Structure 1
């Protein structure tokens, strides 16, 4: 059976598939939203389908990758109804103001303005060390 190897099959497609999946595994391992010690797998299924005369057939390469799933995220929510009797839900508690907002998500202007005022107040209470020591501003 000369001339057929994994490296030469379909001009190296199998090797390219594995290389691509290795990068997916590396990205998944480095993703802080996945469990660090979860096992990852690369699977290359090779199927052979000969014709009735057993002279010609198909070789099918089917790569798959089992990566660590995204870690679950929990938040607190309150449920109720609005003045029209429609169900409502809102998040409360550990909301991280430094987390980037998704496109199309609006921030409540009142709470944002209150946060800005608090930051300004904190900035006014800060004295640069160099200025306090009599150095350059």
Structure 2
């Protein structure tokens, strides 16, 4: 085995190893996050930049540790497009699944319009008891 030139565990008073462990922990959290794609690859990149002095007796070392996690999955919804009283475009989220269809709100136990904003009075609409 080749003798190591420097001990990476003690480089920069241990800050090098600390940064790697910090970023690795973040990548592991990203892998465990169900809102990310499990199959996406994550990356941990370490860059050591050495800059020697004129006499080539000393070199400053700049250490960068960068993690590239997987992005969060996109989410979707559907908007109902309409115009307000002044004729300007407006939108509201479709809650019922189909435009103009009422739906049962499981949180409030009420029948609401397709936007989930207004409670529908079934008796006024000719519904029976």
Instruction: Place the TM-score, normalised by the shorter chain, in its bin.
Output: 0.5 to 0.7
Q: Which runs of 5+ in 1 are unaligned?
A: 96-110, 119-137
Q: Which runs of 5+ in 2 are unaligned?
A: 98-103, 111-129
Shift of 1:22: 1.4
Determine helix, strand or coil for the equivalent of 1:12: helix
Q: Runs ≥4 in structure 1, deviation > 3 angstroms?
A: 1-4
CA RMSD in angstroms comes to 2.7
Shift of 1:3: 7.4
Report if aligned partners of 1:46, 1:61 keep a CA contact under 8 Å in 2: yes
Match of 1:18 in 2: 20
Q: How many residues align?
A: 102
TM-score by structure 1 length?
A: 0.64
Match of 2:51 in 1: 49
Shift of 1:94: 6.5
- 26, 29, 33: which is aligned to 1:31? 33
- 97, 108, 112: which is aligned to 1:116? 108
